[in-house]
Amino acid sequence: MLKKIDLILYYGLFVLAFVLPVSIAATNTVWIFLFFVWLIKIVKKKSTDFSSPLTFAILIFFGVTALFSLFGLDYKRSIKGLNSEMLFLIFFLVFSNVRNFNHAKKIMYVFLVSSAVMGFLGFLQYLIGKNFINAEIFSMLDGRAHGTRSWPQTYAEGLLMALPVSFYFILHYRKKIFYSAAILIFLGIFFSYVRMVWISTVILMGTIFLMYIKRLKNLVYIIIAVSVLVMISNVFTDTRKSIFKRATDFSDPVRITMWKTSFEIFKDYPLLGVGLKNIKKVYPYYYQKLNFSKEFYMLSHLHSTFIHILVERGIIGFLAFLYLFPVYFYYGIKKAKCVSEEEKFFIYGCLFAIFGFLLSGLTEYVYGDSEIQMIMWFLMALTFYKSRAVFIDRDGTINEDMHYSADERKLKILESSYPAIKLLNQADYKVIIITNQSGVARGNFSEKDVKKLNEVITRKLKEKDAIINDVYFCPHHPDENCSCRKPEPGMILRAKKNLNIDIKNSYMVGDMQSDIDLAKNAGVKSVFVLTGAGIDVKGADYTAKDILDAAEWIISQVD
């Protein structure tokens, strides 16, 4: 039963990735179905792990939003508005059921293909629009691309989040399919005629091009040529000329008057805000109070994610919302530093996608658009895909025991370490060093000395294609009773959070009883190696003659 549920969730995420850029109704149907399947899995397994780098920040934001909804001007509206806030569950659905990087990568392929299809559809809408034939159904909005969305803004904002991901796939894979996807997505964005998305696209493209100009120069030339051609094409018809002129006209005062009105509302409701879905109720009064034109006094949103949330939820809700993103970028960048180049490009694609979401949100309420919010949670979750890990003790396992020394001259890496770690890398395990270094507390050397020695070990291993993804060490004295010194699980728990480690399918390799006890305390399997000082060690899942034997046994355990 559990295997069938896992298969449904595994393949169901591909379906979710495909429908996200296409249809809100289909997306809601798929993610809610998968969510209930996941609940069945949780009940069957009688346990699940909700911990992620973003869990605390998400719960703070949702908790503050739910609590303050009770204090809104019309609490019934506010409570009703909580429905859309439940979309954060998409994050946990995806985060918890993406098995590994390969699974995440395939899901992203589907998302990019679907986004490229929408880009192509938008381009067709431009070509076939009202100016050539009477195609009301195919191009509802006078030639503005909207894909299958009701509004060009929603369509363009969704493609904006797909565009940087396609760039990073180009950077790593250099395949024609990703060049094609990027160009189609770009065309869809261009012909949507959404100003802020254009600006955000230029910022994103410019930043990525500056970072990787040599790798992306061919794409630069192609997009510049395409841009020139499509801009020239807009002068041939009056309708498109007027659309293009409006899209590039920044003298429109509507948003300025809107934001001035917003801050007047905020002054009266600074702490808790007016409540969810209450903007429309109070906006007309403040708008007329400031004697602005009555043309735009009936609004349900404030054309800025940040201003809208500030007015709707007050300064506390606003800060809770802002807190989400520094946490996301901090742990996303931290994870990118510990993984392979392929994974690094994948993660940076997701990070830039969310950056695009925030940029576009400066002048549009993108968080209030459920289609875009779903893509946001989806990409945030994919950033923290699961990884299997092998945690390895340092002294006596990777290198000969240095006996309370951090002197690089005494370092002797065991020959078996090179092929062992390389083997684990090839089997898609993250390799993480976990080591007690109480010599710091004893005054034998400093933390700086330990870090320097760890860098030397990492570099020497890398020279022979054996990659260490991260290193954690405990500098405390045994008498300090800290939570990180082995056999306490603190270091593994930190690694688990940073890299979303699949604990159930991970291992601890070491030469001491404390390593085996650590494995038990952290919930991972254990391997004892005979290359160190440990004797009479009990409780290990396997005893290996050295780290290479340990690696071979670990790989043999994979289903």
Q: State the catalytic residues.
A: 393, 395
CB 366 within 8 A of CB 357: yes
Question: Helix or strand or coil: residue 540?
Answer: coil
The residues pairing with 474 across neighbouring beta strands, listed in sequence order, are: 436
The dihedrals phi and psi of 529, each to the nearest 5 degrees, come to: -110, 150
Q: Which of 340, 384, 364 is nearest to 194 (CA)?
A: 364
357, with CB counted inside 10 A (0-12, 13-18, 19+), is buried
Please report, for residues 55, 162, 360, 427, 538, the alpha-carbon distance to residue 166 in angstroms, rounded to integers and kept in the order given: 27, 6, 18, 26, 50
Q: Which of 122, 169, 174 is nearest to 144 (CA)?
A: 122
In sequence order, what are the residues at sequence separation of 6 or more whose Cβ sits closer than 8 angstroms to the Cβ of residue 67? Answer: none
In sequence order, what are the residues at sequence separation of 6 or more whose Cβ sits closer than 8 angstroms to the Cβ of residue 203? Answer: 359
Range 367-394 burial, b when 16+ CB lie within 10 A, else e: bbbebbbbbbbbbbbbbbbbbbbbbbbb
d(CA 396, CA 529): 9
Give one word for 542, left, alpha or beta, with left for phi > 0 and alpha for psi -120 to 50. Answer: beta
CB 493 within 8 A of CB 522: yes
CB 516 within 8 A of CB 466: no
Sole residue written with tokens 């509206």: 77
As given in the structure block, the two tokens for residue 388 are 């299997």
- Could you give the residue ranges of the DSSP H alpha helices within 46-175? 55-69, 75-85, 89-97, 101-128, 152-173
Q: Which of 442, 61, 517, 128 is nearest to 276 (CA)?
A: 61
CB 333 within 8 A of CB 56: no
As given in the structure block, the two tokens for residue 115 are 């986004």
Handedness of CA 287, 264, 250, 148 (dihedral sign): negative
